A and B are shown apart, each in its own frame.
Chain A
């Protein structure tokens, strides 16, 4: 059995730092598991957080920035940017609108670009379709999005919309791919105890690379078995 496969970390709850390791009788790994499990339990509700940070978090989460109509528009846009596909769900399945609400309070420099961008979008839609964006048909929504989603070919008068949509795209992607769903989608498989054995042999081959004898001799290979 591949040792890397055998090192499955199970996180006990979302806030706990304790974890277990399964292993195939590997003493080093068992020692390691014991060490980590020996670490004292977290005592404070937010261990390792400064009082100033806790106060800041409490303050910004005690208020709401976006209005309900604004949140409705953000949700529609986020799902247009990251829709459901064969790999994973859409942006709102991953909690992206809530993340955007949080991050504009945490980084107030986004508040004006976001609010004025949402306003710009509604004014455009009102002019074109006599409705705010959220009440437009799907076809109309995609039509206006097409006009602002491609920075290099967008019409000059769409510049403000392009800047807003780029910000929306960036916030949505960051929010999605840092969610549990998004991390699974992107295929990041780290953040767990393991023993680094180097690049898998088949990957090295694919890239026409190999470790030298010297590297294998001088480095810690953790039982790399080629």
Chain B
């Protein structure tokens, strides 16, 4: 290795940010607008939905008709590069444990395809240990984050309605779209059995909010990333305006290897592999901000071993990688006979549900400690690969055009069945809170490296009875709602103890969090309440890693708020010359 040499970028930045998703994009935006010089490292390619999105493509424009590939597990038109596996970048699991790890490799990260479900954490979500004795309280409360949620609402835009609910805080909302037909039926059925259904809260612009971004034109394809930036993606809504300040250099295809520290143990830069030439580079800054995703940020810290930080950087507490948790998930779906043979019209709407159900029960009366919200889908969606699949298990059970016939079949009569059933699908999924256990963790696998020679993560995660009981409750509830609607259940109806009541494997819901958690006690947390490492004041982590727990909410809106809060703190601390 005589030739081995790290090329050091001579320019010294105020901040080096690793990752350009929600956390990194927001940090770049705030710091650049405060006049600081920022270097933004992104492990994937540049991406601008204006030119690169598959929005408004028809299914026949994909040779696979929108089917998934390993490159795009959510389908050929999906806006996210890579997913459950990446060529040359393995990860491992301890036998008998599960973790499916989604990794995006592109500017904006997974925000290019996410569901835009933008829920604030409520007051209880920050203090759940005080309520049920499980997990840990956050070192901050709702009142600390509220001003940032407000600013994020205004900056990025989110629709919804103020409902005055205790743990589903009101926000600064754009008007939501009117419910679709199946959503009205869901609302009627669910409310009839005491389950509230209210307008959803999605970061999609039903009104124009500035000159840089367009207004939603209702194609339902937010998952492809919006060409007119009418939905929130970190690349188009944060990184692009940040770059426009002239203060940000984006380095794509830069796979971070480790955080560099000085003799005092302070983070001073990041070394990375340039995926184009496979050479190592180093870029230096007054602060280093990790936003590479909860698990990638933990991996980076654990791989940053030095004399001052023998257990990995920011890890004197030994918590880095621990308390890893995802949202829980389980779903049930079916078909609604009264929607069969329905009148056709364009009901695309926004990309996602127009209504949802926030958690509505008291866990003290249940056999699981934390709640879940319900997401809904259905109706006359754009046909894609998988259309009509499995009709042989359905068309024998129904009155099709007035008569019951033999399952399966072929010919004109079968062709008519597809037409008759189109648009009658309806489904729902729970997204719930899992307990962040110390025993659920990722660590460095001592035996495996990726193609860049960077040691990889080994996962060790198992669900407990809390999550399984919660999934059972979801399953029972969804079946009740569908029964109330008069639907025939086609998926999830046979869930039971044999499959943990349909509980998705941890990681599958793609809300990884908890691995670099914050807290007041440096012995029990990696970061302080400003997302700043206890062990190294020039190091911050602003992605899901910092989360102590994740509520029964999707985490993106809180990542954005906490990253904005940490970034404003960095600006303030730099002004005061504390860092």
**Contact A169–B410 (Cβ < 8 Å):** yes
**Contact B60–A169 (Cβ < 8 Å):** no
**B175–chain A nearest beta-carbon distance, Å:** 4
- B40-71 residues with Cβ-Cβ distance < 8 A to A are 45, 47, 50-56, 58-61, 63-67, 69, 71
Question: If A11-B56, A17-B227, A190-B346 touch, does A196 touch B389 (CB 8 Å cutoff)?
Answer: no
Question: If A36-B228, A145-B410, A178-B384 touch, does A50 touch B45 (CB 8 Å cutoff)?
Answer: yes
Q: How many residues of A contact B (CB 8 A)?
A: 85
A35 at the interface (CB under 8 A from B): yes
**A133–chain B nearest beta-carbon distance, Å:** 14
**Contact B348–A190 (Cβ < 8 Å):** yes
Tell which of A106, A145, A196, A220 touches B207, judged by Cβ atoms closer than 8 Å: A220
A113 at the interface (CB under 8 A from B): no
**Contact B178–A215 (Cβ < 8 Å):** yes
Q: In the complex, what residues of A have CB within 8 A of residue B52's CB?
A: 47-48
- B366-422 residues with Cβ-Cβ distance < 8 A to A are 380-393, 396, 406-412, 414-416, 418-419, 422
Question: If A190-B346, A200-B345, A220-B177 touch, does A178 touch B385 (CB 8 Å cutoff)?
Answer: yes
**Contact A180–B177 (Cβ < 8 Å):** no
B344 at the interface (CB under 8 A from A): yes
Q: In the complex, what residues of A have CB within 8 A of residue B181's CB?
A: 199, 203-204, 207, 209
CA distance A164 to B124 in the complex (A): 54
Question: If A151-B408, A203-B181, A209-B188 touch, does A182 touch B214 (CB 8 Å cutoff)?
Answer: no
Question: If A47-B51, A183-B58 touch, does A198 touch B217 (CB 8 Å cutoff)?
Answer: no
A126 at the interface (CB under 8 A from B): no
**Contact A196–B63 (Cβ < 8 Å):** no
Tell which of A150, A177, A209, A221 touches B388, judged by Cβ atoms closer than 8 Å: A177
Q: Determine which residue in B81, B208, B414 has the highest number of CB atoms from chain A within 10 A of its CB, and name it.
A: B414
Closest to A21 in B: B217
A175 at the interface (CB under 8 A from B): yes
A43 at the interface (CB under 8 A from B): yes
CA distance A186 to B420 in the complex (A): 9
A131 at the interface (CB under 8 A from B): no
CA distance A52 to B87 in the complex (A): 9
- A51-87 residues with Cβ-Cβ distance < 8 A to B are 52-53, 56-57, 61, 80-83, 85, 87
**Contact A106–B392 (Cβ < 8 Å):** no
Tell which of B51, B206, B380, B418 touches A173, judged by Cβ atoms closer than 8 Å: B418
Question: If A52-B87, A169-B410 touch, does A106 touch B55 (CB 8 Å cutoff)?
Answer: no
Taking chain B's interface residues, is the majority helix, strand, or loop, or is none over half, making it mixed?
Answer: loop
Question: If A43-B51, A180-B60 touch, does A196 touch B185 (CB 8 Å cutoff)?
Answer: no
Q: In the complex, what residues of A have CB within 8 A of residue B53's CB?
A: 17, 48
**Contact A189–B344 (Cβ < 8 Å):** yes
- B160-174 residues with Cβ-Cβ distance < 8 A to A are 161, 174
**B294–chain A nearest beta-carbon distance, Å:** 24
Tell which of B64, B176, B214 touches A32, judged by Cβ atoms closer than 8 Å: B214
Question: If A36-B214, A177-B383 touch, does A14 touch B410 (CB 8 Å cutoff)?
Answer: no
**Contact B414–A169 (Cβ < 8 Å):** yes
A128 at the interface (CB under 8 A from B): no
CA distance A36 to B104 in the complex (A): 26
A139 at the interface (CB under 8 A from B): no
**B374–chain A nearest beta-carbon distance, Å:** 19
**Contact A102–B63 (Cβ < 8 Å):** yes
CA distance A198 to B347 in the complex (A): 8
Q: Mark A193-207, 1 if CB is under 8 A from B, else 0.
A: 111111110111011
Closest to B45 in A: A50
**Contact B184–A194 (Cβ < 8 Å):** no
**Contact A39–B50 (Cβ < 8 Å):** yes
**Contact A211–B345 (Cβ < 8 Å):** no
Q: In the complex, what residues of B have CB within 8 A of residue A53's CB?
A: 69, 71-72
**A154–chain B nearest beta-carbon distance, Å:** 8
**Contact B415–A82 (Cβ < 8 Å):** yes
A160 at the interface (CB under 8 A from B): no
**Contact B346–A42 (Cβ < 8 Å):** no
**Contact A187–B422 (Cβ < 8 Å):** yes
CA distance A190 to B422 in the complex (A): 14
Q: In the complex, what residues of A have CB within 8 A of residue B391's CB?
A: 169-170, 173
A192 at the interface (CB under 8 A from B): yes
Closest to B215 in A: A32
Q: In the complex, what residues of A have CB within 8 A of residue B422's CB?
A: 186-188
Tell which of A28, A152, A182, A209 touches B383, judged by Cβ atoms closer than 8 Å: A182
**Contact A106–B219 (Cβ < 8 Å):** no
A1 at the interface (CB under 8 A from B): no
Q: Mark A106-129, 1 if CB is under 8 A from B, else 0.
A: 110000000000000000000000
**Contact A57–B408 (Cβ < 8 Å):** no
Closest to B344 in A: A187
CA distance A175 to B59 in the complex (A): 10
Tell which of A83, A103, A198 touches B64, judged by Cβ atoms closer than 8 Å: A103
21 contacts between A and B (CB under 8 A): A4-B345, A36-B217, A39-B227, A50-B81, A81-B410, A81-B414, A149-B409, A151-B408, A152-B407, A177-B388, A177-B418, A178-B65, A183-B60, A183-B383, A188-B422, A193-B218, A194-B217, A195-B217, A197-B178, A199-B181, A219-B199
Which 8 residue pairs spanning A and B have beta carbons closest together? A48-B52, A198-B178, A173-B388, A190-B348, A187-B344, A193-B217, A178-B59, A178-B65
Known: A149-B410, A170-B390, A179-B60. 16 other contacts (CB 8 A): A15-B61, A17-B55, A99-B65, A166-B392, A169-B410, A173-B414, A173-B418, A178-B383, A186-B418, A188-B344, A188-B381, A190-B347, A199-B180, A203-B181, A215-B178, A218-B175
